[in-house]
Amino acid sequence: MNKTIIVTGGAGFIGANFVLAWVKQGLGKVVNLDKLTYAGNLENLLEIEHNPQHFFVHGDIGDQALLAELLAEHKPYAIVNFAAESHVDRSIHGPEDFIQTNVVGTFHLLEAVRAYWTSLSEAHRKQFRFLHVSTDEVYGSLGKNDAAFTENHTYAPNSPYSASKAASDHLVRAYHHTYGLPTLTTNCSNNYGPHHFPEKLIPLVIHNALSELPLPIYGTGHQIRDWLYVEDHCAAIRRVLEAGNVGEVYNIGGWNEKPNIEVVKTLCRILDIKKPRADGKSYADQIAFVEDRLGHDQRYAIDATKIAKELGWKPKETFESGIEKTVSWYLEHQDWVANVTSGDYRHWVAKNYAERGEEMA
């Protein structure tokens, strides 16, 4: 059996971690298709730059001609779709990009894959998988005492980002039920770890702390998220791809619910030890509460019982071990941070937080 897979969005945060692990573990050839928008970064893949098992293609999942060409040439046994616009704040400022990539792009990808899958022999059709990586945000927001999201939870997306991901999930489900395409969908909680673009909470706080900038906290900081170390997430995706039941959805969570303010204070404590401020004060002194974002969901929590029971996956990292590794990685890779936080990134951060009454640059 051909062990080639196509990974879309494989230069982004989660996608790059997945590709790196796949190649390092010798699991087969990866054709990596990425549009290289602001969050897609080839520096994430330097470790395998010359590895013959990694073939990078600069392109868009909305380009059906390119997709058809890649599918015909490489004949993959699986597609793993990470390609997405994924930042809630950006979706509030400019929702159109999210509709184009997450909805229209997923549609074009599904159409190209359906045509390819239909052309395969019966044996290869049975082996083929289309795995779509999604988010817990499609389920909406939970109250403090509500049970965590299961795979049967009603969709109730509250931001343009989560609505666009919900739409893509529904398309994937429809292509399985209508055409028989062998799909799998995973909905994950908040990821953190190496190569995370510093617009999201954890890398933003690390970057701003070291840059002597304010650490912006939306509202009171009591919004609760379930935190999942990215390498655990990648291991879960590999397990779903290997043994998941076709047409099923698997929720992937870290069993680590934390209020945002607690996450930030934890980061400050670790940085106080690993990289103390020159003036001897705590990084926590840089915390700045800013105006909350529109429609901010108050709590996400994933019930990952299904994947544990059916596929035997559980996260290896606790939040404490994972966050320690994450801070260490950022401290050891300041050149990477400097390269990704130039230009467009600085303009975006200044615009987003200035609107909330906090100067960030």
Residue linked to tokens 């403090």 = 144
Separation between Cα atoms, residue 256 and residue 319, nearest integer Å: 6
Asked about 136 being catalytic, the answer comes back as yes
Please identify which of the residues 34, 60, 89, 137 carries the catalytic annotation.
137
Query: Of 34, 60, 89, 136, which residue is the catalytic one?
Result: 136
* 155 catalytic residue (yes or no): no
Place of tokens 């509250």: 158
DSSP state for residue 120 in the 8-state scheme = S
Pairing assessment for the beta strands 224-229 and 257-259 based on DSSP bridges? antiparallel
Beta bridge partners of 81: 8, 132
For residue 155, count other CB atoms closer than 10 A to its CB: 14
Known active-site residue 285: no
- In angstroms, how far is CA 291 from the centroid of its own chain? 25
Cβ contacts of 277 within 8 Å, gap of 6 or more = 283
Is there a contact between 136 and 149 (Cβ–Cβ < 8 Å)?
Answer: yes
Interatomic CA distance for residues 212 and 197, integer angstroms: 18
Catalytic residue among 161, 192, 300, 353: 161
User: Under a CB-based contact definition with an 8 Å cutoff, are residues 264 and 321 in contact?
Assistant: no
3-state secondary structure of 134: strand
Q: Active-site residue numbers? A: 136-137, 161
